[in-house]
Structure 1
Amino acid sequence: MDTRTISPSSSATTLTPNSNSTLLADSVRLATITFPGIRLQPRDAHKLRGYLGGLFRDHSPLLHNHFDDGTYRQHYPLVQYKVLNEVATLVGLNEGAAPLVQLFLHIRELDLAGKRHPVLDKHIRHESAAIGLGTELYRYRFVTRWLPLNQGNHRDYQALEPAARRMQLTRILTNNILALLKAANVYAPQLPRLMVHLALSEPVLTQFKNQPMLGFGGEFVANVVLPDGLGLGKSVARGFGSVQRLD
């Protein structure tokens, strides 16, 4: 696995900078709720989703990503449950921001697998955040493990040589970013081509729905502006693949 640090300017010549604007981004609504008095581990994110998604099940299908008839909503999750720096965190994107704002005052405790945590301190930030393809490179790191593979392509990945593995992961991350841009309604075919360069750490086995999956940390560089805290890859609703911009 390539663990080199990539300079954001190292591939600038592959892009076509616009001297008048370095950002071809739009903006999205973003709501972030944090509970700084409740310290958790990343593995607790699915408990957070289970409790709050169930508690407010009748409020909006976006909170649990299921429709009223029980079918799964096959789209990028607009409400995501995370543990970032040991802090329980909820992130809502566009239509997913409104339910979080509406329910903020009604969250008085977190019951996680039978352990009750009274909410004594909670914060909410509701903002307009830039997102979209740019004409410069930006560097990000995964603050929670990125899960790029499913059971099918996991077997394919294991059979590949290192160079082919990097190519596959780059292709998957590119598709992950495009899926987020489409969910945010800021993608258009005429926009500049998305350029992605990976600098990942060695993968670790991560439990996902009682199945061992490869989870990756590390960094990537891309000509895209992404809001901090949003997730890429599999199971972003449960906190995986959360990103933070480094420059």
Structure 2
Amino acid sequence: MRSDTAALTTITLPEIRLRVRDAHKLRGYFGELFREHSPLLHNHYEDGTFRQQYPLVQYKVLDGTPTLVGLGEGAALLVELFLRIRELDIDGRHYPVQAKHIEHRTEAIGPVAGLRRYRFETLWMPLNQDNHRQYQTQSAAEQQAQLTRILTNNMLALLKAVGAYASDMPLLLVHLLPGEPVVTQFKNQSMLGFMGEFVANIALPDGVGLGKSVARGFGAVRRVD
């Protein structure tokens, strides 16, 4: 079965240690630092309107390490900006960047013949206000089915963003093992997030995000088999 490919750039700052919840501060810092460069860096256009598409530049803290991930156009953009990353300012604390690593490669993405297992490295946020209320009223089996549908749609949104979606694409087969939900504060509201694992017949690059607010580090995945 054919899978498409996408350019992927990962930048890490290995000598700086941050908390997972600082990922949105990374986004704020770099989005402001390079505000005039591209709306892909902060997902807002010049007139202030929000860019609704899947974010092609994402900011994460993985294993304590500040990480930037770019896909497609975002991958090329991070290569261009790499040498201009010289410091961080997080909550008024100044971090000189004395070491930084960049990896730029082409990754397979899209349906594959076999099943692959993935783990969420950061909280997956599948629910919005409306389907959160629906989720709370359902049986365990209905909740599982709802989350599986949402995860499938999350992956399709990613494929469309990098041009790897086709109308005749084979059906995605997804089995989700979400684990226990975690209550977290999201934009000053209590929402449910999930860690867990899933199995699917799709190739996904390590580090890309699925679900809500992936630009701020949520829903980062890693292959585990």
Aligned AA (2:201): N
Aligned pair 1:48/2:22, yes or no?
no
Q: Distance in 2 between matches of 1:155 and 1:53?
A: 33
2:120 is matched with which residue: 130, 142, 156?
142
Q: Which stretches in structure 1 are left out of the alignment for 5+ residues?
A: 1-22
Aligned AA (2:103): R
The percentage of aligned residue pairs carrying the same residue is 66
Aligned pair 1:159/2:142, yes or no?
no
Aligned pair 1:27/2:5, yes or no?
yes
Normalising by structure 2, what TM-score? 0.98
Normalising by structure 1, what TM-score? 0.90
CA root-mean-square deviation: 0.7
Shift of 1:99: 1.7
Partner of 2:150: 172
Q: Which stretches in structure 2 are left out of the alignment for 5+ residues?
A: none
Higher-Rg member (1/2): 1
Shift of 1:97: 1.1
Q: Distance in 2 between matches of 1:47 and 1:154?
A: 26
Shift of 1:213: 1.1
Partner of 2:178: 200
SS at match of 1:38: coil
Shift of 1:145: 0.4
Aligned AA (2:85): I
Aligned pairs, number = 225
1:74 is matched with which residue: 52, 64, 67?
52
Partner of 1:57: 35
Aligned pair 1:224/2:205, yes or no?
no
Partner of 1:7: none
SS at match of 2:67: strand
Q: Distance in 2 between matches of 1:198 and 1:97?
A: 29
Partner of 1:236: 214
Q: Distance in 2 between matches of 1:86 and 1:206?
A: 19
Runs of 4+ in 1 over 4 A off after TM superposition: none
Q: Distance in 1 between matches of 2:122 and 2:136?
A: 22
Q: Distance in 2 between matches of 1:46 and 1:107?
A: 17
Shift of 1:125: 0.5
SS at match of 2:144: helix
Shift of 1:211: 1.3
Alignment map for 1:44-123 (pairs within 5 Å) = 44-123=22-101
Q: Distance in 1 between matches of 2:80 and 2:188?
A: 33
SS at match of 1:146: coil
Shift of 1:212: 1.3
Aligned AA (2:19): Q
Q: Distance in 1 between matches of 2:121 and 2:35?
A: 28
1:38 is matched with which residue: 1, 7, 16?
16
Partner of 2:109: 131
Aligned AA (1:35): L
Aligned AA (1:202): E
Q: Distance in 2 between matches of 1:137 and 1:157?
A: 27
Shift of 1:152: 1.1
Aligned AA (1:104): F
